[in-house]
């Protein structure tokens, strides 16, 4: 028996497809945020998205196509919280309008078999 891998796969789907997938899998709901100012930190994102719910993950990466911009993944604890944050758009974080796309991540149990 091995533990599940630490990497995550994020999927961007239409709401209809998300609903269909949710019948078969438990999912985490969140956002992929692009065109972030390079001065924005994880704390800034946490403070911004915390107004809509409990943040379960916040990860910022350098954007490979544009070194002056960042890319972030923010996951909220429930679908309803992610819906509220989605409906609140467009999103301006520290004065910069960002592109925010809805994503899901399939919940993985701690154990898998190969």
What is the rounded distance in angstroms from the CA atom of residue 107 to the CA atom of residue 110?
A: 9
Domain boundaries, the chain: 2-112
Model confidence, pTM: 0.75
Q: Does domain 2-112 have CATH number 3.30.70.330?
A: yes
Q: What's the angle, vertex CA 65, arms to CA 60 and CA 67, rounded to 5?
A: 60
**For 8-56, where are the alpha helices, taking DSSP H only?**
15-22, 42-49
Q: 76 versus 66: which is more confidently predicted?
A: 76
Nearest residue to 88 (alpha-carbon basis) of 54, 55, 59, 48? 48
Confidence of residue 114 (pLDDT cuts 50, 70, 90): very low
Q: Phi/psi zone of residue 6: left (φ > 0), alpha (ψ -120 to 50 degrees), beta?
A: alpha
Residue with tokens 């350098």: 62
* pLDDT (tens digit per residue) in 20-46: 666 666 778 899 998 888 888 889 999
């Amino acid at each position: 028996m091995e533990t599940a891998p630490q990497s995550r796969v994020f999927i961007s789907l239409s709401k209809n497809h998300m609903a269909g997938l949710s019948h078969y899998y438990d999912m985490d709901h969140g956002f992929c945020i692009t065109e972030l100012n390079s001065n924005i930190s994880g704390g800034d994102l946490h403070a911004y998205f915390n107004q809509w719910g409990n943040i379960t993950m916040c990860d910022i990466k350098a954007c490979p196509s544009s070194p002056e911009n960042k890319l972030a993944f923010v996951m909220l604890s429930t679908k309803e919280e992610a819906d509220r944050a989605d409906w609140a758009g467009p999103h301006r974080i520290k004065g910069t309008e960002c592109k925010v796309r809805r994503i899901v991540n399939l919940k993985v149990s701690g154990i898998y078999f190969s």
